[in-house]
Structure 1
């Protein structure tokens, strides 16, 4: 893609709405997961042990620094439902 084409200029000036929407959805999921953990009296480490995932990765998800995959969302939902 050329540096001066219309799409590149528009994205640079206005951002990408799809990426912004996905970022907001990811933050919403992270917020809901963190709230559910707190409501159930669980920690990020408890979730990490249940999912057999590195606790640092769980912490990155919960602060919105790592995107959730559909697979992980389902695993988290299933795990939290079991508590």
Structure 2
């Protein structure tokens, strides 16, 4: 990349709005998932077991350190909803 590359300079000075928006969406979704778990009196470990995923991965998801794909969103939603039917 050239030193005078306009795009690189602009990104360095102002950030990338699309990345910032995606980051905020991921944080919002993580917060909503955490609240749903708390509302249903479920732990991160309960969700990890339901999804057959390492609990550390769930921790990253709920901390907003994971970019949610549509598949992940659906899996989270289904797993949380499924607990209301089991209880």
| Residue matched to 1:13 | 13
| Count of aligned pairs between the two proteins | 83
Higher relative contact order (CA 8 A, sep 6+): 2
| Residue matched to 1:61 | 61
Q: CA deviation at 1:81?
A: 1.1
Task: Specify every segment of 5 or more residues in structure 2 that has no aligned partner in the other structure, as ranges.
Answer: none
Greater Cα shift, 32-41 or 58-67: 58-67
What are the residue-to-residue correspondences of 1:1-80 with 2, within 5 Å?
Answer: 1-80=1-80
Task: Specify every segment of 5 or more residues in structure 1 that has no aligned partner in the other structure, as ranges.
Answer: none
Q: CA deviation at 1:39?
A: 0.2
Q: CA deviation at 1:58?
A: 0.2
Q: Secondary structure at the match of 1:45?
A: helix
- The separation in 2 between residues aligned to 1:36 and 1:70, in whole angstroms, is 18
Query: Over aligned residues, Cα RMSD in angstroms?
Result: 0.8
- The separation in 2 between residues aligned to 1:2 and 1:29, in whole angstroms, is 37
Q: When the two structures are superposed, what TM-score results if normalisation uses the length of structure 1? A: 0.95
